[in-house]
Structure 1
Amino acid sequence: MPISNKIAHGVDEVDVIICGGGVAACVVAGRLAAADPKLEVLMIEGGENNAGNPLVENPALFPQHLVPASKTAVWYKAKKSEQLDGREYMLPTGGLLGGGSSVNIMLFVVDGETRREAYAKCTRYSRPAKGDFDTWKTPGWSTEEMMPFMRKLETYTGRRDPAYHGNDGPLRVTNESFRMKKTEDDLLRAIEQLGFPIIDDLQDTAIGNLGFERQVKTVTTEGKRLDAATAYIHPLLNDGQHPNLHVLCESKVIRVLFDEHKRAVGVEYTPNPEYMIISTATERARMTVKARKMVVISCGALGSPLILERSGVGSPDILEQASVSLVADVPGVGSDYQDHNLVFWPFKTNLGPADTLDALWSGRMSPEEAVANRLMQYSGCDMHGKYRPSKEEIKEMGPEFEKHWKAEYQDYPSKPLMITASAAAFVGDPSLVPAGAYYSLGSYTAYPKSRGHIHITGPNWEDPPDLETGFFTEAVDVTKQIYAYKVIREMMRRTSMYRGELPIGHPEFPAGSEAVLVDLDAPLAGDFEKPLGKIKYTPEDDKAIEKFLRKHIGTTWHSLGTCAMKPRHEGGVVDKTLNVYGTQGLKVVDLSICPENVAANTQITAYTVGEKGADIIMRELGLADAKQEGMNLNGCAH
């Protein structure tokens, strides 16, 4: 059946219902449907179908998802936070089929003005660091046990050790896509000057490399974005051989339905009013569809706990306040929210209009010119790195951080403190800066200590949630970002393109400080043969950086942890086979199950969790020898 806004042909019962249409949901739905043509699978997505959408397919056009009329993102409003300079942070998630792999956006506020932050991380390939899965302390989920699933999902064409990468999966991973060689080489040479290694395969999870690499991406051979729906769902819908796969878009799941034995037997959903021409009581009626075998919730770390709580699974106190009857007492639902904290630091350059995305984003370059310059295929990301501070830097970061370091990092030499990625543009609203060609470096905290939560406030999906991001509630997370800012400035100061800092995106340092921002006519590094000294920061300079960070730090779209896979008495929500405690026939398969964070863009982790979850379900349904039918590289996904 084609993707539609209603369940066609009178289907009101299927074998497996998957709530959500993001990365993990697409993996599970695609794998199950391909495994057995008799197994009826329904995936319900709140947003629109992403197929053929040029704003999704062309990596360079992702800022268009930020316009006011856009319906491709869902925004969650967090409580006002003193740690964030009094901001009520707006936290976005993917709002269409493919989820975060189809679009990734952020929003910050600068001096009372809206500064739109956009970054195509969704084309970036980044695996967890060595040992990340081991920290989950769950049988079946160690790094060694997860490696087959990381290989299964990919066809890796970059420099690689074949023992650690796949060659026949649905996701094409490559370093052969369009690259801006000039800026890439310039930046990596500067990074080497600082003593960081340049690595062919930073994503070798078994070895646990630290350093920087030329960015590897998930794109098709034509340079188009390769998202989860394109890789796992559309090939099956288009081959005419999988009528068992049903995809219902533009519909919101309200809750899971249970029988008297607390077994999940179906879901209640309603049309998404964002896509309705006329909103009437009849059109907005609540509808149900039954599940013969299983219900899977896969709406991400923000969506999945809300569905569980609306279904009666969660803390009795929270459910009572929200007027929801208790089905299962699972207090951990919605707690322990985690995210990588991110900020982009923009720099002035001597680059031309065809070297960055600024001219295209601001309208100074036409789409036709961008196509001629191959910029439509350019995500703007040239490099990616994971790194740790030196012994001297650790000491400079203060006694509180030293204590944290000794407890969490000292005995784990492959564990990075920070992650940095590049963006060839001013990563924000172009109207806020003079016409030019800019280059930005982003820093995000690999393992934030801060935690937040998300809970329902009422029984309906429209009821605004109680959301606290928790960003910067732990002082050590601020210290990490201050350290990263200093590293990033030193990286850019050593490039030939560097011409100073863009004031709108940097702290205001005290007059006379060595850290004061500069505006240059020539490279600071001169002939690049003479070593360049590092900026020396005072305590007052650190306070200026902290002030800026609290005002501008944001999300990476890497939310996880709110339905954690750990023992129930420790705040867990699902067990090692992803079953929700206190229920039957109900699983959660998405990043919300991660009990600890991963040092990576979480897209590949979401794919891996989806592959592992699909394998668990197929084994339970007797489909352990499932084929990868319809998901090879000769299919329409590539």
Structure 2
Amino acid sequence: MANHLSEVDIIFVGGGTAACAAAGRLAAANPGLEILLVEQGPNNLNEPTVFTPGLMLTHLAPDSKSALFWQGNKSDAVNGRGPVVASGGILGGGSSINFAMYTRPAASDFDDWKTPGWAAKDLIPLLRKIETYHLGPGLEVHGYNGPIHVSYSNYYFHVAQEYLDVITRRGVPLVEDLWDLKTGHGCQRLPKYIHPTTGRRQDAAHCYIHPQANNTSLHILTKTQVVRVLFDGIKAIGVQCSGIGCAERLSKLGVPVVSDLPDVGSHYEDHSSLIPLFHIGDDVETLDCVIEQDPGFMGKYVPEFAEGRGYLTSNANDAGGKLRPSPEELKEMGPAFQAVFKQKFEQAPDEPVLIQTLFNGFFGPRSMVPDGKRFMMIANIQAYPTSRGHVYITSTDPYAAPDFDTGFLNEQSDVDVLIWAYKQCRATNANAAGCVRLDGPPPTEIEDLVYTDEDNAAVEEFIREGAGTTWHSIGTIPMRPKEQGGCVDSRLNVYGTTNLKVADLSIVPGNVGANTNSTALVIGEKAAILIAEDLGLNVP
């Protein structure tokens, strides 16, 4: 960035996924527009741990320089634990450090927002716009000329096929496109945000920002923390706690109130998850060797990755499904979830209750498992939890830890879902195909395990002790009418201010039945259009 820069047209505070998409689109379409993108973390340009999918777990290490770790409050709902939630702390945000899993919401997710300009008919074109889809030509719901490449990558862990064999024998249909915006129950080999030729991760910064290195009007400032928005009255004029939020809470902290929005920081959501660990045969390929940084392994596969092939082109998430309970299973899930199902899911067959993915390896602390053993995990991700938390400031010091309540498992209906999820993955992995490599097909007769009341109580205890984050934080500045607790309008303007918009996952007014990366990209694309319209410009 030029040292003499003192005035710009647009400032993006935070260089996350949505911001990179919005800034990149605006800069490419309007080269004379002076844009400043400010990111508190480092630049991700050509950082090996970012562009190498197989190194993704390095970002969750305690000494990570690319992730931010937020300490949640202790809660009885999770047996007195204080869950820790990670978020992106590098240019590109979560898209630079996530598991590179390609997922997309149900079409009804967008319609459920009930926000003008944000219905499925408005956002599906943007979902197509962001991607170049390599898994089948001519599909109406997919795009073929976007900056983000979608593929299977160039490496397939064979245990994924065994997982699919077993889960389909358990009655889950194998589908061609799980992310067609209408399928709510099925399984498939999972696509990834990975380039099919280079094997590189497709993060927002490398796909939207870095290709414009020669654009002298696009300025990137990294390792810089924005601590406050400057206002002239209610007009945002620059960046330097900003006085927007609950007036009572702000006044107690001595923060001058600019706009009284009581719901700022409330309605925090995440996809609560349960990720059990399973031991598998020592001859089964997993990502454990990468996690352990085995020198023999790395010496072999790093050169292969340079050619766009091999282990390191994979995120080890090769198979998974979107699941809804059968009528018989629903009867066993308890009255709390049954009420939720009737209200939320009964008339929405495109919305899954659970997202399940196979991870070929163990991403917890190595001290928890025996040396030299191989493991796999099955992530059970609750698509639409009913529990809510909050994130509130505690001081005028912008670096002070927030009052962060994750809300995990506050509602019994969420526990009911994860009990069912545990039983699903336990049944799958009780079969040999989920545990060891087979020379022949998995068994054709698969019997469900039977659980007593005592068993169910033990499973609930296991869940309250182990359930946690999926790193999908949303909803603390919701886009809805102000009288309904909203903080921004349909054009992303913060109520009670001018010149100030919010464009990230905090605006999402209702959860989505998918990992949140695609939604963040769509928010960025939509923000670029809205900002351009406000300025009398155009984004094709």
Quick one: which of 416, 426, 429 aligns to 1:489? 426
Report the secondary structure of 1:384's partner residue: strand
Is 1:259–2:232 an aligned residue pair? yes
Q: Counterparts of 1:166-315 in structure 2 under 5 Å?
A: 166-175=143-152, 177-205=153-181, 207-220=182-195, 221-237=197-213, 240=214, 242-260=215-233, 262-268=234-240, 310-315=241-246
- In 1, Cα distance between equivalents of 2:384 and 2:62: 33
Counterpart contact for 2:53–2:194, Cα < 8 Å:
no
Quick one: which of 138, 142, 153 aligns to 2:115? 138
Instruction: Indicate how the Cα distance of structure 1 residues 244 and 160 shifts in structure 2: closer, same or farther if over 3 A, else same.
Output: same
Q: Report the counterpart of residue 357 of structure 1 in structure 2.
A: 287
Deviation at 1:529, TM superposition (A): 4.5
Instruction: Indicate how the Cα distance of structure 1 residues 336 and 267 shifts in structure 2: closer, same or farther if over 3 A, else same.
Output: same
Instruction: Indicate how the Cα distance of structure 1 residues 156 and 495 shifts in structure 2: closer, same or farther if over 3 A, else same.
Output: farther
Q: Report the counterpart of residue 395 of structure 2 in structure 1.
A: 458
Counterpart contact for 1:186–1:495, Cα < 8 Å:
no
Deviation at 1:457, TM superposition (A): 1.1
- In 2, Cα distance between equivalents of 1:161 and 1:396: 42
Counterpart contact for 2:42–2:66, Cα < 8 Å:
yes
Quick one: which of 15, 20, 23 aligns to 1:26? 20
Counterpart of 1:389 in structure 2: which amino acid?
Answer: P
Deviation at 1:545, TM superposition (A): 1.2
Q: Report the counterpart of residue 250 of structure 2 in structure 1.
A: 319
Q: Report the counterpart of residue 379 of structure 2 in structure 1.
A: 442
Report the secondary structure of 1:464's partner residue: coil
Quick one: which of 82, 92, 102 aligns to 2:76? 82
Counterpart contact for 2:337–2:414, Cα < 8 Å:
no
Quick one: which of 352, 358, 361 aligns to 1:425? 361
- In 1, Cα distance between equivalents of 2:441 and 2:222: 57
Q: Report the counterpart of residue 125 of structure 1 in structure 2.
A: 102
Counterpart of 2:179 in structure 1: which amino acid?
Answer: Q
- Bigger mean CA deviation after superposition, 56-65 or 416-425: 56-65
Report the secondary structure of 1:131's partner residue: helix
1:153-189 C-alpha deviation (Å, 9 max, x unpaired)? 11111136532111111001112x1232522221111
Q: Counterparts of 1:333-412 in structure 2 under 5 Å?
A: 333-350=264-281, 352=283, 355-364=285-294, 365-371=296-302, 372=304, 374-412=310-348
Deviation at 1:9, TM superposition (A): 3.2
Report the secondary structure of 2:276's partner residue: strand
- In 2, Cα distance between equivalents of 1:436 and 1:158: 34
Quick one: which of 559, 562, 566 aligns to 2:473? 559
Report the secondary structure of 2:73's partner residue: strand
- In 2, Cα distance between equivalents of 1:474 and 1:209: 23
Counterpart contact for 1:146–1:608, Cα < 8 Å:
yes
Counterpart contact for 1:159–1:201, Cα < 8 Å:
no
Q: Counterparts of 1:37-186 in structure 2 under 5 Å?
A: 37-104=31-98, 120=99, 123-159=100-136, 161-175=138-152, 177-186=153-162
Deviation at 1:341, TM superposition (A): 0.5
Counterpart contact for 1:159–1:200, Cα < 8 Å:
no
- In 2, Cα distance between equivalents of 1:265 and 1:405: 46
Counterpart contact for 1:199–1:213, Cα < 8 Å:
yes
- In 1, Cα distance between equivalents of 2:441 and 2:67: 46
Instruction: Indicate how the Cα distance of structure 1 residues 486 and 160 shifts in structure 2: closer, same or farther if over 3 A, else same.
Output: farther
Is 1:605–2:519 an aligned residue pair? yes
- In 1, Cα distance between equivalents of 2:465 and 2:21: 37
1:459-511 C-alpha deviation (Å, 9 max, x unpaired)? 22112111111110001000000101111122223352515xxxxxxxxxxxx
Quick one: which of 464, 480, 487 aligns to 1:550? 464
Counterpart of 2:75 in structure 1: which amino acid?
Answer: S
User: May I ask how many residue pairs the two structures share in their alignment?
Assistant: 532
- In 2, Cα distance between equivalents of 1:478 and 1:266: 45
User: RMSD value over aligned CA atoms?
Assistant: 1.7
Deviation at 1:70, TM superposition (A): 2.3
Counterpart of 1:340 in structure 2: which amino acid?
Answer: H
Counterpart contact for 1:350–1:497, Cα < 8 Å:
no
Deviation at 1:604, TM superposition (A): 0.5
Counterpart contact for 1:344–1:427, Cα < 8 Å:
no
- In 2, Cα distance between equivalents of 1:89 and 1:460: 23
Quick one: which of 9, 26, 29 aligns to 2:3? 9
Instruction: Indicate how the Cα distance of structure 1 residues 184 and 492 shifts in structure 2: closer, same or farther if over 3 A, else same.
Output: same
Deviation at 1:229, TM superposition (A): 0.3
Counterpart of 1:257 in structure 2: which amino acid?
Answer: L
> What stretches of structure 1 of length at least 5 have no aligned partner?
2-7, 105-119, 269-309, 500-521, 628-638
TM-score (norm 1): 0.81
- In 1, Cα distance between equivalents of 2:537 and 2:189: 39
- In 2, Cα distance between equivalents of 1:318 and 1:161: 53
Deviation at 1:350, TM superposition (A): 2.2
Counterpart contact for 2:51–2:201, Cα < 8 Å:
yes
1:58-109 C-alpha deviation (Å, 9 max, x unpaired)? 11112222334322111111111111111122221110001111113xxxxx
Q: Report the counterpart of residue 332 of structure 1 in structure 2.
A: 263
1:241-287 C-alpha deviation (Å, 9 max, x unpaired)? x1000010001111111112x1111110xxxxxxxxxxxxxxxxxxx
Report the secondary structure of 1:317's partner residue: helix
Deviation at 1:366, TM superposition (A): 3.4
Instruction: Indicate how the Cα distance of structure 1 residues 527 and 78 shifts in structure 2: closer, same or farther if over 3 A, else same.
Output: closer
Counterpart contact for 2:393–2:403, Cα < 8 Å:
yes
Instruction: Indicate how the Cα distance of structure 1 residues 337 and 160 shifts in structure 2: closer, same or farther if over 3 A, else same.
Output: farther
> What stretches of structure 2 of length at least 5 have no aligned partner?
none
Q: Report the counterpart of residue 483 of structure 2 in structure 1.
A: 569
1:397-427 C-alpha deviation (Å, 9 max, x unpaired)? 1222222221221122222111101100123
Counterpart contact for 2:157–2:360, Cα < 8 Å:
no
Percent sequence identity is 42
Counterpart of 1:483 in structure 2: which amino acid?
Answer: W
Quick one: which of 486, 493, 498 aligns to 1:579? 493
- In 1, Cα distance between equivalents of 2:373 and 2:475: 40
- In 1, Cα distance between equivalents of 2:310 and 2:532: 42
Q: Report the counterpart of residue 591 of structure 1 in structure 2.
A: 505
Counterpart of 2:409 in structure 1: which amino acid?
Answer: F
Counterpart of 2:82 in structure 1: which amino acid?
Answer: E
- In 2, Cα distance between equivalents of 1:320 and 1:547: 41
Counterpart contact for 1:362–1:431, Cα < 8 Å:
no
**Over 6 Å off, 4+ runs:** none
Counterpart of 1:192 in structure 2: which amino acid?
Answer: T
Deviation at 1:369, TM superposition (A): 2.4
Counterpart of 1:195 in structure 2: which amino acid?
Answer: G
- In 1, Cα distance between equivalents of 2:289 and 2:298: 10
